[in-house]
Structure 1
Amino acid sequence: MSDRDPRLDSAAEIRARIDTSTPHSARFWNYFVGGKDNYEPDRELGDHIKEIFPGLVDVALTSRHFLGRAVRYLAGEQGVRQFLDIGTGLPTADNTHEVAQRVAPDARIVYVDNDPLVLAHARALLTSTPEGETAYLDANLYEPEAVLKAAAKTLDFSQPVALMILNTLGHVADYDQARGLISQLMAGLPSGSYLVISDSTSTSAGMVAASEAYNSSGAVPYYVRSLEEITGYFDGLDLVDPGIAQVTQWRPEPGSASGTSTSVDAYSGVGRKP
């Protein structure tokens, strides 16, 4: 089944909201992971940042691999059947619903984003196994109560939900506000739910320089944070082993391309709500 947002049918309105004259984080990230949904300003900035800090490409790719491992762990080992993915980004291979429903065909997934280009591609996301369901919300991280209310049309909040916020929180300039948004979202989920986060970190001069170059490009700024700040997102939750780790080191799968020993300036964690 699919639950389509009626705004998806307003193609002209969606196109009018897309600004291709300046770089955009979703398109920029799409370029780094080898996608085709990007424009010249995104590619120019991407090439410039590759010169400053080539390691950001590894961050993009390995963060995507972490998503797959986290979803497989939750769906396969913990029996989670519901996922709320905020900051969806542009669809590539192995989106949350594809990974989850490969393990559990009855899984339900709600994607949340408020970017018009992502919205324009939502039809590609709104696919599902017959047993499961996917939905897309054109909604804003800054309105957690509205997100939860809308997501409740698809998800059963009496059962555990995995809240996925990957490479998104850096858009929230104020760290305390970012933590507050997470707290509000997790407060609306039942015991046994999970928080899944990965993000770039200020753990090298190269990453800091790349972040500064990105923020001066005209794109909506993205702020990399310290390892201590990433850890703080999980206050009050029980961290899943191995705790907060580089995205390459969170439960790597031996012999799989999804796990690598590469050291990257991106950390991740999965926490369970008691």
Structure 2
Amino acid sequence: MSAEWAPPGVDPERPSVARVHDALLGGMENYASDRSVARKLKAAVPEVVDLVWCNRAFIGRVVDYLIREAGIRQIIDLGSGLPTVENTHEVAQFADPTARVVYVDIDPMVEPHAHAILSGNAYAEAITADARDAHGVLGHPALRRLIDPSQPTALLAIGLLHLFSDQENPHALIRDYVNALAPGSYLAVSNFLASESPKAKALEVMLQATMGTGYFRDEAAIARFFDGLVLVEPGVVRFPEWHPDERIPGPLAPWEELLLGGVARKP
């Protein structure tokens, strides 16, 4: 990617989470600094690309459930990253063409690239905002144009919360979002799972060394994001175990043990 493609505020020499994710998926919207981090992550945990695709598949199953089974018609996707295959709005609108989706990401590259994909789509939008500012996100004019706060809404925080340290109090942040949602809304959350697994430790060390972020949490801490909500079966589980498209053939691979997630309804 040439430097002139960079929107204002983008430093091509500084890797971003969204662009590293794009590089791992084989996308083109990244710089040499992002590809360097992606190579280091793959060297530390060769299965990291499988992990990223596993994350995409989880999001797809969650969104399909929310639209087809939970009856949700509006979704806020926090930390959405750069557009790729099977985006949230594509899955949602395949089930219901009028489903409304707003993407939120702090990386200023996300919004213009999302707009290129969303051109002509009256029911999907992308905004540049910091997910740490719940009030600012939920009050953003572009979001309010599509999302009716009086109606049940799904909030996705998948692949995001491991970027926030405990000092940033992500549990309180999620409570702020949930408190602002209407009854009948849904929350989908994931986080890297802390464990003694060499794969987990290698990935956590490499994420913090290359990106300065990456906070793995134990099962109890991840489950606490759903306090006060009604968990959808099978609860907080490894990604392949949540509403699998097919029967899980056997024990999970070590890299499939690295991510924990779930979905819950606000009473």
Question: 1:21-170 residue pairs with structure 2 within 5 A?
Answer: 21-127=13-119, 133-150=123-140, 151-170=143-162
- Letter of the 2:139 partner, please give it: K
Counterpart of 2:169 in structure 1 is: 177
Q: For residues 90 and 207 of structure 1, what CA distance do their matches in structure 2 show?
A: 25
Counterpart of 1:4 in structure 2 is: none
Q: For residues 56 and 145 of structure 2, what CA distance do their matches in structure 1 show?
A: 28
The answer as to 2:208 corresponding to 1:215 is yes
Shift of 1:114: 1.7
Q: Is the 8 A contact 1:201 1:267 kept in 2?
A: yes
Q: Closer, same or farther in 2 for the Cα pair 1:105/1:153, shift >3 Å?
A: same
- Letter of the 1:149 partner, please give it: G
Q: For residues 71 and 177 of structure 1, what CA distance do their matches in structure 2 show?
A: 26
Quote the sequence identity (%): 35
Indicate the SS of the match to 2:155.
Answer: strand
Q: Closer, same or farther in 2 for the Cα pair 1:41/1:14, shift >3 Å?
A: closer
Q: For residues 158 and 248 of structure 1, what CA distance do their matches in structure 2 show?
A: 33
Shift of 1:90: 0.6
Q: For residues 86 and 55 of structure 1, what CA distance do their matches in structure 2 show?
A: 25
Q: CA RMSD in A?
A: 2.2
Q: Is the 8 A contact 1:52 1:209 kept in 2?
A: yes
Q: For residues 155 and 14 of structure 1, what CA distance do their matches in structure 2 show?
A: 29
Relative contact order higher in (CA < 8 Å, ≥ 6 apart): 1
Higher mean alpha-carbon deviation, 169-178 vs 141-150, is at 169-178
Indicate the SS of the match to 2:243.
Answer: coil
- Letter of the 1:270 partner, please give it: V
Q: For residues 194 and 97 of structure 2, what CA distance do their matches in structure 1 show?
A: 38
Indicate the SS of the match to 2:226.
Answer: coil
Indicate the SS of the match to 1:93.
Answer: coil
Unaligned runs of 5+ in 1: 1-11
Counterpart of 1:205 in structure 2 is: 198
Q: For residues 168 and 227 of structure 2, what CA distance do their matches in structure 1 show?
A: 12
- Letter of the 2:18 partner, please give it: A
Q: Is the 8 A contact 1:91 1:124 kept in 2?
A: no
Shift of 1:122: 2.5
Q: For residues 248 and 226 of structure 1, what CA distance do their matches in structure 2 show?
A: 18
Counterpart of 1:3 in structure 2 is: none
Q: For residues 133 and 40 of structure 2, what CA distance do their matches in structure 1 show?
A: 34
- Letter of the 2:39 partner, please give it: D
Unaligned runs of 5+ in 2: none
The count of aligned residue pairs is 257
TM-score (norm 1): 0.87
Q: Closer, same or farther in 2 for the Cα pair 1:182/1:120, shift >3 Å?
A: same
Shift of 1:202: 2.1
Indicate the SS of the match to 2:76.
Answer: strand
Q: For residues 128 and 160 of structure 1, what CA distance do their matches in structure 2 show?
A: 25
Q: For residues 128 and 268 of structure 1, what CA distance do their matches in structure 2 show?
A: 33
Q: For residues 124 and 76 of structure 1, what CA distance do their matches in structure 2 show?
A: 27
TM-score (norm 2): 0.89
Q: Is the 8 A contact 2:237 2:262 kept in 1?
A: yes
